Amino acid sequence: METLENQKQLAIAWFANLRNSIRQEFEKIEELYGTSSKFKQIDWKKEDGGGGGEMSIMHGEVFEKVGVNISTVYGEFSENFAKEIPGCENGDRQFWASGISLVAHMRSPHVPAAHFNTRMIVTTKQWFGGGGDLTPVFPDDEDTRIFHSRFKAACDKFDPDYYPKFKKNCDEYFYLPHRNEPRGVGGIFYDYLNTNDWQKDFEFTMQVGVEFKNGFLEIIKRNVMKKWNEEERVKQLQKRGRYVEFNLLYDRGTKFGLMTNGNTEAILMSMPPHAAW
């Protein structure tokens, strides 16, 4: 049985390996359909010495802006924020967290924006969380089917109840109540996952990452050559405005990063390069 420290190292290694694989695949897409654009990596460390991360950003002709970040941070939650975190109820505010976060804003209005993240968090308790969602400007039934079928395949390998439960979580979470509209066409979202079988939970989290990568690549390839016009571009920028509103008002990851003194640029990597209202 793996010790907690071994589990942490396995998680850190997986997030880095997945990041590397995604960067390679996205650079291949850019080279095949756009330019020879590459990711630029910026390493950062927390000022309080509690870990850090690596921010990778690419601007190209297929990916107008895509960020794939990994981080491992630790320290002590503020007293107020600790009240919201499982495992801190007894006054122990120590935490450790590692994860990967991806947001892709595409040049073509016909290629959906996508978000994905997975993480492992340890307080006096331990859990995995994450998921992904798709935000098209012009929803396409086949794109939606591909995206959801990939996540369903990942879920069904572990528990038949996962997909309907995590899909519902995603639909409820990625929603803008002030607009009375969903952010996109959904996906899955899970948090506080601990079945008392760490290996199973870790393998599920890895499978979610693999299926997201493969599904999103398939969606990009089937849409990237479609022609688009300026009117469609305007609608894309307006949709991005909704994306900004959600991430600044409701996103838990944004809040977690800022409340744990993470790197501001890495936290706000999700912001699109251009948006409109």
Active site residues: 115
Kindly report each contact of residues 171-178 with a partner whose C-beta sits within 8 Å and lies 24 or more positions away, as own/partner: 174/133, 174/246, 176/242, 176/245, 176/246, 176/249, 176/250, 178/245, 178/249
In one-letter notation, the amino acid at residue 99 is G
Q: What tokens were used for 19?
A: 């990041």
Q: Are strands 113-122 and 181-182 parallel, antiparallel or unpaired?
A: unpaired
DSSP assignment, residue 185?
A: S
DSSP assignment, residue 161?
A: T
**Beta carbons of 188 and 166 less than 8 angstroms apart:** yes
Crossing angle of helices 198-223 and 4-33, in 10° steps, is: 10
CA distance 11 to 3: 12
Return the exposure string of 5-23: e unless at least 16 CB atoms fall within 10 Å of the residue's CB, then b: eebbebbbebbeebbeebb
Q: What is the DSSP string of 216-250?
A: HHHHHHHHTT----HHHHHHHHHHHHHHHHHHHHT
